[in-house]
Amino acid sequence: MVEDVAAIAGLLPPGPLALRGSSLGGYVALLAAERLDADAVVAICPAGTEHLLRLQSHRDQAPDFRLDAPAFEAFLREHDLSLVVPELRTPMLLLHAEGDEQIPVDHSAALYRAARMPRKRLIALPGGHHRSIQHDPEMQGESLRFVEKAFAARG
C-alpha cells in the first residue's frame, strides 16, 4: 500500500506534498509520510493495526471486499502505527469524532501523545461518527490551513 502511494506521488509534478486519508487511508497516509518526505499529513479517524485486523476478520460480512488476507495481516503486523508515529517528523494533524463507533478517539489521542514531531495537532470533535469529519466543511478548512502552514514553514 505504501509503495502504491509512492508510485502515485511519483507521478505528481515536483513541489510540496501533503497526504490525507481517513480510516484505512489515514493509517496509510501516516505510514507513507516519512517514506515520501511529505510536508504534511492529515489523518481522519485513522485506523490502527488492531482495528484493521478486526475488519479483516469480519470481511465475510462485506462480500464485495476482496482481500489477500494472509498478505494483509502480515503487512499490518509489520507496520504498527504506535511504532511509526514516534519516529515521524512530518507535521501531523489528527481529526477524530468522539462518537466514532468503529475506531475510538482514544486511538488518535494515543498517537498524538506518542508523536514527537514539533508540529502536531489533535482535534477531537464531540459527537459525530466514523465518516462525519471527512465531509465537514469546517474540518476541511482546518486541514487546508494546517497544510498551508506546513508548506510555508518548509519553504
The predicted structure's pLDDT at residue 65? 62
How much is the pLDDT for 72?
Answer: 87
Q: How many domains does the chain have?
A: 1
**pLDDT (0 to 100) of residue 62:** 52
Whole-structure pTM value: 0.91
Question: What local confidence, expressed as pLDDT, does residue 59 receive?
Answer: 53
Per-residue pLDDT 10s for the chain (155 aa) are 899 999 999 999 999 999 999 999 999 999 999 999 999 999 999 999 888 888 766 555 555 667 788 888 899 889 999 999 999 999 999 999 999 999 999 999 999 999 999 999 999 999 999 999 999 999 999 999 999 999 999 87
Domain ranges, residue 100 = 2-154
Closest CA to 29 of 100, 72, 90: 90
The C-alpha cell at 117 is: 514531531
pLDDT at site 44: 98
CATH number at residue 99: 3.40.50.1820
* Interatomic CA distance for residues 54 and 61, integer angstroms: 12
What three-state secondary structure class fits 11? Answer: coil
Q: How far is CA 31 from CA 2, 46, 48, 82, 119, in A?
A: 7, 11, 11, 11, 17
Question: What per-residue confidence (pLDDT) applies to 56?
Answer: 63
Whole-number pLDDT of residue 58: 55
Ramachandran angles phi, psi of 18, nearest 5°: -120, 145
